A and B are shown apart, each in its own frame.
Chain A
Amino acid sequence: MQNSEFEKKMQQKMEELKLSPADNVWDKIEAGLPPEKKPRRWMIFILLFAGLTTGALILWNHFYTAKSQAEEDLSIAKKTVLQNTISKNPVSPEAGISADTVSLKIEKPAGSISGDDERRKDLTKPASVKVKISNGTTAYSDIPESENTATAKEQLLKADAVVKAKIKAAVPVSDTEEDFVADSLRRSETGEIKTVKTNEVAIAETQDLITADTKSEKDSIVIKTTDTTEIPVKDKSFKKKENSNWQYGVGIASGISTVKNSLFNSSPVFASFAGSFSSGSPNPGGVNNIPDNPSAGIAFNLSFYVQKDINSRWKFNTGLNYLYQSNTIRTGNRVDSTANFYFTTKSLKVDSYYLSGDSLQYKSKFHLLEIPVLFQYRISKKYPVYVKTGPSVAYLLNSNAMVYKANQRLYFTDDAIFNRLLLSMSIGAGFNLAEKSKFPFTIGYQFKYSIGSIIKDPFGKQHIMNSLFYLRVPLKK
């Protein structure tokens, strides 16, 4: 009986029975399910930020260590100059240079020097040397008690001479002054030479010191090494420290933004994923054409930034930005009706959608919070012009951007289509104005492009980009 014609027909008819449940049924089901272990996006965000900050600090530390090393080398050079052979070489015989005694104090270099290196350890102690300068001769002298820098300068000027210093050997710092001198002598005799590093700033300061403090040509003092490395005689360079404190301020930027399928080609934003849809419902029959790419919309950015000098040229820059950006697309009419979309791996239910067409202008908006990690390089010492670049991590707070379902010719949006975390790269340039005044500010331009798509696979590919002019005002310099 079960297989009679009646039962077969009945079975067939009942197989076709489909009814749409009310919207709240899923909500009730969801309420009865164990809570989903949602990926802790904020945790990822914090970890990413921590990672980037750590990376930046490592870089900063690297630069800082390099600077300390340069200072250390400079200090060694100074000791070397004073410890080794110094020839007094008058510019003219009329200078009437007489042998004199010069005392210089080598002070502890700026910045703490740490580590297990014995040489470094020793440099943390003030070291004093005294050099006897003989007219036209090379000689070593006993080293009496140290004097301070001011005395040294005074006595140098008393020497009334042009001094030419030759580094014959680099002498490691010894535990005692006697050892130091003995070692120096031994090395100068055996001809061990070490090239000593220094930097431009030190040279400038040296020359500045000499010309400023010596009032006549006769009094000009030049110190040279055989390695053509200029050695300063004063520790002024160490006193001029970089601003190592964090500076902070606020900024505002505005400009234009849009979305693109790719930065380097003009592939249509709304056509590239047409083939990835399987059939679904409904089929409203919008206009059958490939939609235009979105037009640019306005964008603006409010920021709080902090920055720190890495050295005289480089700055590290981070903070927190709120970014709004938009673009517009042309669509057909809006349909307020529930529709199910089935994709290869996903399905969605939306309450309204837009048909393809040209009758309406739809503004897609993106609200993002972002943390930039930028490195800023000052191009010129004279002019405060700089370039900057670096990544930024953004979290999408909200968006109404739509994707296009090509086989049914309609647009729709849903929270599920977005990637919330986004990595972007930016590049920009700017310059500081009124740098010396009470109210300095910075203006510049910045271009940003998201490396990842803000739309999830398989709904398409939309990379957000913006082009902004900005103004920044420091609150603490």
Chain B
Amino acid sequence: MEQDIKLVKGCLKNERVSQKQLYNRFADVMLGVCYRYTKSLADAEDVLQEGFIRVFKNLHQYKREGELGAWIRRIMVNTALTYLKRNAKYQADLYFDKIEMHPVTTENPEIKLDTKELASLIQQLPTGYQTIFNLHAVEGYTHVEIGELLGITDGTSRSQYARARALLITWIKKNYSDNKLQSYAK
């Protein structure tokens, strides 16, 4: 924490060394965050780049009460959402006018996939599902908050999340059984 405050002070003075240190400290984790919201590593790096520029420009707003990492993470998520809304490749999938209600599955399958495999599955979700799933399941946003962030109702968010969750569970199960078959074949 003390180290973070030192870094923040250096960054606020626009010291390049401190800025690079702060980047080096959080870049790996934040790229993981960006990766989950986009469809490729290159896009994730674009988001990371924009996100860090916003971090350095808005660092004076950091109150030093909470974790610096959590504050940067929120900026990265917001940057990712802005990126998705702005980028034509993602815009269409973020159009949530067709509200379809989906049953909520209460299934809690065992997750035997490693981190990267799981992130790849999340990436394969349609952008809308992917975004809402990340916001709710990983970042812990409520559906009301998600609604405000994306300009949709909380009901839409719930519906999209339920679908995303169900899809992901199906894929996880399938992936698990495929792996099992492959290991038997060997």
Contact = CB atoms under 8 A, between A and B. Distances in A.
Nearest to B53: A32
A18 B137 contact: no
Given A19-B35, A21-B27, A25-B45, A33 B56 contact: yes
A33 B19 contact: yes
A348 B20 CA distance: 8
Contacts of A43: none
Contacts of A212: none
A19 B123 CA distance: 15
Given A19-B28, A29-B23, A33-B19, A345 B118 contact: no
Contacts of B109: 6
A142 interface: no
A18 B29 contact: yes
Contacts, number: 110
B149 interface: no
A29 B28 contact: no
Interface stretch (B9-17, B76-84, B85-93): B9-17
Q: Which of B6, B49, B116 has the most CB of A within 10 A?
A: B49
- Centre residue among A6, A9, A30, A416 by max chain B CB count within 10 A: A6
For the residues of A in contact with B, the DSSP-based class is mixed
A26 B107 CA distance: 42
Interface string B100-138: 000010111101011110110010000000000000111
B164 to A, nearest CB: 11
A26 B25 CA distance: 12
B169 A19 contact: no
Contacts of A4: 106, 108
Interface in A415-458: 416
Interface string A2-21: 10111101110110111111
Interface residues of A, number: 37
A54 interface: no
Given A14-B119, A25-B45, A6 B53 contact: no
Contacts of A32: 49, 53
B49 A2 contact: no
A416 B115 contact: no
Interface string B12-43: 00111101110111011101110110000100
B140 interface: yes
Nearest to B36: A14
A20 B118 contact: no
Contact of B31 (A20, A30, A36, A348): A20
A322 B137 CA distance: 63
Contacts of A17: 29, 32-33, 35-36, 115-116, 119
Interface in B130-163: 136-138, 140, 142
A25 B140 contact: no
Greatest chain A CB density within 10 A among B19, B32, B113, B137 is at B137
B14 A37 contact: yes
A226 interface: no
Contact of B108 (A6, A28, A34, A347): A6
A349 interface: yes
A132 to B, nearest CB: 84
A33 B53 contact: yes
B3 interface: yes
A6 B14 contact: no
Contacts of A22: 45
Given A2-B140, A14-B119, A33-B53, A26 B20 contact: yes
18 contacts: A1-B104, A2-B142, A11-B138, A13-B113, A13-B115, A14-B118, A17-B29, A17-B35, A19-B31, A19-B41, A25-B45, A29-B53, A29-B56, A30-B16, A33-B14, A33-B57, A346-B21, A416-B17
* Those 9 A-B pairs whose CB atoms lie nearest each other, nearest first: A17-B32, A18-B28, A5-B108, A32-B53, A19-B31, A6-B108, A36-B16, A14-B138, A347-B24
Interface of A: 1-2, 4-7, 9-11, 13-14, 16-22, 25-26, 28-30, 32-34, 36-37, 340, 342, 344-349, 416
